[in-house]
């Protein structure tokens, strides 16, 4: 596609919903991936438009490519299909593709929740694909690596959820914190809302503004509770920047052993010592350090005055929080180097 050289023995890839922000990030990752080749780019809303016209950053890699209409038949036989679609659309399409392509990597929430009864409550639709839901593997290698090996349907985690899991789940697994309630206070750049025309995400709304949204019943809440293993009070915020997530998480120590900064940091270090994309730091993580990379920075503190453990994580919501994390999980499923196509160094300064 375009003027690029196709890697030898590369897996053929289709991206459905390729014109969205996660689709564009996927194309950026796939372009430098040694084992993937973007062959089919479908985007109903932009069908017929040149990729380079919508995203000038793609001009060198996809100078002659255009987005095409959605057509299941044009996906037949592909090794990998990424779905960057609304939740209900992915729910309907994934089962249709299951016998026609090698691997499906879904970036919606259609297959993230193991409890189908949560979908009407948090997403507003009934989940009517129980077999696919049961077959899907949650795409966070740091905690589901074994299940991802040879997985054919991967449910890519939510961006906020990835940040929260990385920051909190090791403490739960080691019995350091109470599972009664964990507070996740997190903020995201505007690309977390997707590429849409909406006054809430317009420059004049977002610039020099900082606001909370989705109070009390945000749809990522059940996913966090499922994967962290605690009750969660989650409050998201919108940051006046393009990319990035910072999650500050508050939990209560379960015993005296947990009541020290050393215990918190050592628990995080023990969990992530051999993880290629998670780095435990002594300082305070910031989003810019992760920009454009698959890196997660995480740290922890214990506050003796309030008897509270604070863990903080930072990541790029489009990279590790979406498309980069999706490719990382796919790499595991394909049995290739998990770091293929992915950066561990953020774009800074």
pLDDT tens digits for 217-237? 889 999 999 999 999 999 999
Q: Strand 232-238 to strand 278-280: parallel, antiparallel, or no bridges (unpaired)?
A: unpaired
Residue 142 located in a structural domain: no
Is the CB of residue 154 less than 8 Å from the CB of residue 82?
no
Q: Which of 195, 219, 18, 229 shows the shortest CA–CA distance to 119? A: 219
| DSSP three-state, residue 8 | coil
Domains: count for the chain: 2
Residue 10, pLDDT above cutoff 50: yes
pLDDT at 201: 67
pTM, two decimals, is: 0.93
pLDDT at 307: 97
Residue 240 located in a structural domain: yes
The secondary element (H helix, E strand) that includes residue 87 is helix 87-97
Residue 197, pLDDT above cutoff 80: no
The predicted model gives 330-344 an average pLDDT of 97
Residue 342 located in a structural domain: no
Residue 341 located in a structural domain: no
pLDDT at 194: 64
Question: How confident is the prediction for the chain on average, in pLDDT?
Answer: 93
Q: How far apart are CA 94 and CA 134, in angstroms?
A: 13
Q: How confident is the model at residue 5 (pLDDT cuts 50, 70, 90)?
A: low
Annotated active-site residue 159? The verdict is: yes
Rounded to the nearest 5°, which phi and psi values hold at 91?
-60, -40
Residue 20, C-beta contacts closer than 8 angstroms, at least 6 positions apart: 43, 84, 194, 195
For residues 166 and 312, membership in a common domain is answered with yes
Tokens of 232: 């969660």
Q: How confident is the model at residue 4 (pLDDT cuts 50, 70, 90)?
A: low
For residues 209 and 246, membership in a common domain is answered with yes
For residues 166 and 112, membership in a common domain is answered with no
The predicted model gives 105-132 an average pLDDT of 96
Residue 345 located in a structural domain: no
Distances (CA, A) of 5 to 31, 205, 256, 272: 10, 42, 58, 35
Reported residue count of the chain is 349
Q: Where are the extended beta strands (E) located within 65-223?
A: 80-83, 103-106, 137-138, 153-155, 182-188, 211-212
Q: Residue 298 half-sphere exposure, CB side, CA atoms within 13 Å?
A: 30
Tokens of 93: 């399409």
Residue 116 located in a structural domain: yes
Q: How far apart are CA 108 and CA 156, in angstroms?
A: 7
117 burial type by CB count under 10 A (0-12 exposed, 13-18 middle, 19+ buried): exposed
Residues spanned by the domain of 122: 11-135
For residues 176 and 296, membership in a common domain is answered with yes
For residues 269 and 124, membership in a common domain is answered with no
Instruction: Write down the catalytic residue from 153, 155, 159, 238.
Output: 159
Model confidence pLDDT, tens digit, residues 122-137: 999 999 999 999 999 9
For residues 301 and 254, membership in a common domain is answered with yes
Q: How many other β-carbons are positioned within 10 Å of the β-carbon of residue 103?
A: 21
Q: How far apart are CA 183 and CA 203, in angstroms?
A: 30
**Residue with the larger pLDDT of the pair 150 and 273:** 273
Residue 326 located in a structural domain: no
> What whole-number percentage of the chain has pLDDT above 70?
96
Q: Strand 245-251 to strand 278-280: parallel, antiparallel, or no bridges (unpaired)?
A: unpaired
Model confidence pLDDT, tens digit, residues 282-303: 999 999 999 999 999 999 999 9
Residue 41, pLDDT above cutoff 90: yes
For residues 193 and 307, membership in a common domain is answered with yes
Residue 3, pLDDT above cutoff 50: no
Residue 335 located in a structural domain: no
Rounded to the nearest 5°, which phi and psi values hold at 190?
-70, -20
Residue 273, pLDDT above cutoff 90: yes
**Residue with the larger pLDDT of the pair 44 and 253:** 253
Q: Strand 103-106 to strand 36-42: parallel, antiparallel, or no bridges (unpaired)?
A: unpaired
pLDDT at 349: 85
CATH of the domain at 221: 3.30.360.10
For residues 164 and 311, membership in a common domain is answered with yes
Is the CB of residue 223 less than 8 Å from the CB of residue 229?
no
End-to-end CA distance of the chain: 32
Tokens of 209: 């503004």
Helices 141-148 and 324-334, packing angle to 10 deg: 30
Q: Which residue carries 């774009």 as its tokens?
A: 347
Q: How far apart are CA 166 and CA 169, in angstroms?
A: 6
Q: How many other β-carbons are positioned within 10 Å of the β-carbon of residue 119?
A: 23
């Amino acid at each position: 596609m375009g003027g690029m050289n196709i890697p030898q023995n590369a897996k053929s890839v289709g991206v459905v919903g390729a014109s969205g922000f996660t689709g564009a990030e996927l194309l950026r990752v796939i372009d430098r991936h040694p084992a993937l080749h973007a062959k089919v780019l479908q985007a109903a809303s932009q069908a017929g438009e040149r990729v380079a016209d919508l995203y000038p950053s793609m001009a060198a890699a996809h100078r002659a490519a255009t987005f095409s209409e959605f057509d299941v038949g044009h996906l037949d036989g592909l090794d990998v299909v990424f779905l960057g679609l609304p939740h209900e659309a992915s729910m309907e399409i994934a089962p249709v593709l299951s016998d026609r392509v090698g691997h499906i990597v879904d970036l919606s929430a259609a297959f993230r929740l193991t409890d189908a009864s949560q979908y009407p409550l948090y997403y507003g639709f009934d989940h009517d694909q129980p077999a696919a839901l049961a077959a899907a593997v949650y795409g966070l290698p740091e905690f589901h690596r074994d299940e991802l090996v040879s997985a054919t349907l991967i449910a890519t985690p939510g961006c906020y959820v990835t940040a929260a899991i990385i920051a909190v789940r090791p403490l739960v697994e080691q019995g350091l914190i109470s599972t009664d309630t964990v507070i996740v206070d997190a903020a995201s750049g505007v690309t977390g809302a997707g590429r849409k025309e909406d006054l809430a995400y317009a420059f004049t709304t977002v610039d020099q503004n900082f606001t909370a949204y989705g109070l009390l019943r945000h749809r990522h809440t059940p996913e966090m509770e499922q994967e962290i293993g605690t009750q969660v009070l989650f409050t998201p915020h919108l940051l006046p920047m393009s990319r990035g997530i910072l999650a500050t998480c508050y939990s209560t120590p379960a015993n005296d052993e947990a009541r020290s900064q050393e215990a918190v940091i050592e628990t995080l270090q023990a969990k992530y010592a051999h993880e290629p994309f998670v780095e435990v730091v002594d300082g305070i993580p910031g989003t810019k350090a992760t920009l454009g990379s698959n890196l997660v920075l995480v740290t922890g503190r214990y506050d003796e005055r309030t008897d509270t453990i604070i863990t903080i994580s930072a990541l790029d919501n489009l990279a590790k929080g979406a498309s980069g994390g999706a490719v990382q999980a796919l790499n595991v499923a394909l049995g290739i180097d998990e770091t293929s196509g992915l950066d561990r160094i953020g774009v800074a300064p």
